[in-house]
Structure 1
Amino acid sequence: MLMEIPYNREQVSEYAKTWALLRNRAFMNFDKMGGDCTNFASQCIYAGSRIMNYTPVFGWYYKGSNDRTPSWSGVEYLYNFLTTNKAAGPYAEQTDRNSVEVGDIVQLGNVENHFYHSPVIVDITPEDIFIAAHTYDAYMRPLSSYLYSTARFLHIVGVRKYE
């Protein structure tokens, strides 16, 4: 039976602050394999959820460089997992920029709606959203400083775990 547990946004923020400009050696660095942004986003989400979904292929987990799901490090796969997950682990809904919170994810895309970057939201002011990211490492970078054609915002609604 599944039970709801809260998503700890403070832990997400602390993890992002600690690791945005460094690499946690517990996780593979994907910089030379297409980018590390979604791997870092997943690490941050895990810091706030502490629950992985070990469903092969379509779940969301990282056990090692050769034992992980595509959703752990792939932009589209993370989106698909978070927005359709009905089992264990974090789940999200796509929202607008006015409805996000610290610990949520923004995915940046081009004019063809190909999404290629998954920064983590670490602060929000009336003027801007500030993010942490890997590949082009950033902490407290204004979202407005990025060049992109489209953005989608993923609000982490909560986390489920098996009792």
Structure 2
Amino acid sequence: MDYRITSTYSRSKAVNYAIKHAKNPNPAYRYFPVVGDNGGDCTNFTSQCLFAGVAPMIFSGKNIWWYKNHGWSISWATAHSLYWYLKINAHDNLYGAKGREVSSSSLLEKGDIIFYRNQRGKITHSAMITSFKNGSPLISQHTPEVLNISYIKPWASKMYFMKISL
């Protein structure tokens, strides 16, 4: 794993990683299966994409986000925690990946993230934008492992469109 310090998010590196590993999970990382109606690998995969886009891991401080030796922070692997990690970093201008929520999918670019809220009001899924078709984002994700599908999920009660930066 590369622990570079940078000030620019590489959308192309994040997207290339997502495309390479959307259907074939990277064996260097633990895969989180669905157990009952819990779990899944979506946010672990989204975090891997962010890291591939040179987002630095944060091991200490106010807002942590990391994966090392098959251990991980909650914000690395849980959708609502990654959502809040990105928002807090943007709001407080903390070191690391930042997420700024925008009101429309038309404001998104490749390498941005969409978070999904379920009918019970919990953010339970995340996906990386890897392409566009007729101006509409296509996502790649885990759980299930898919590449360049429509971002619309009928089960979602709300979608959060997140612009990513460092």
Please report the TM-score for the alignment, with normalisation by the length of structure 2. Answer: 0.85
Partner of 1:40, secondary structure, is helix
Q: Distance in 1 between matches of 2:69 and 2:132?
A: 33
Q: Distance in 2 between matches of 1:37 and 1:54?
A: 21
Question: Deviation digits for residues 16-56 of structure 1, max 9, x if unmatched?
Answer: 11000011111110114510000000000111124111126
**Residue 21 of structure 1: which of 17, 20, 23 is its match?**
23
Shift of 1:112: 3.5
* Matched length: 155
What's 1:143 paired with? Answer: 151
Counterpart residue type for residue 87 of structure 1? L
What's 1:89 paired with? Answer: 96
Distance change in 2, residues 1:25/1:17 (3 Å):
same
Q: Distance in 2 between matches of 1:23 and 1:7?
A: 22
What's 2:125 paired with? Answer: 117
Counterpart residue type for residue 95 of structure 1? V
| Segment drifting more, 89-98 vs 35-44 | 89-98
Q: Return the structure number with greater relative CO, CA threshold 8 A, min gap 6.
A: 1
Shift of 1:136: 0.6
Question: CA-atom RMSD, angstroms?
Answer: 2.0
**Residue 53 of structure 1: which of 52, 58, 70 is its match?**
58
For structure 2, the 5+ residue unaligned runs are: none
Q: Distance in 1 between matches of 2:153 and 2:85?
A: 28
Shift of 1:64: 2.7
What's 2:138 paired with? Answer: 130
Q: Distance in 1 between matches of 2:95 and 2:129?
A: 23
**Identity of matched residues, %:** 29
Counterpart residue type for residue 130 of structure 1? L
Shift of 1:116: 1.1
1:63 lines up with 2:68 in the alignment: yes
For structure 1, the 5+ residue unaligned runs are: none
Distance change in 2, residues 1:27/1:56 (3 Å):
farther
What's 2:42 paired with? Answer: 37
Q: Distance in 1 between matches of 2:32 and 2:78?
A: 10
Q: Distance in 1 between matches of 2:88 and 2:62?
A: 14
Q: Distance in 1 between matches of 2:157 and 2:119?
A: 5
| Segment drifting more, 27-36 vs 14-23 | 27-36
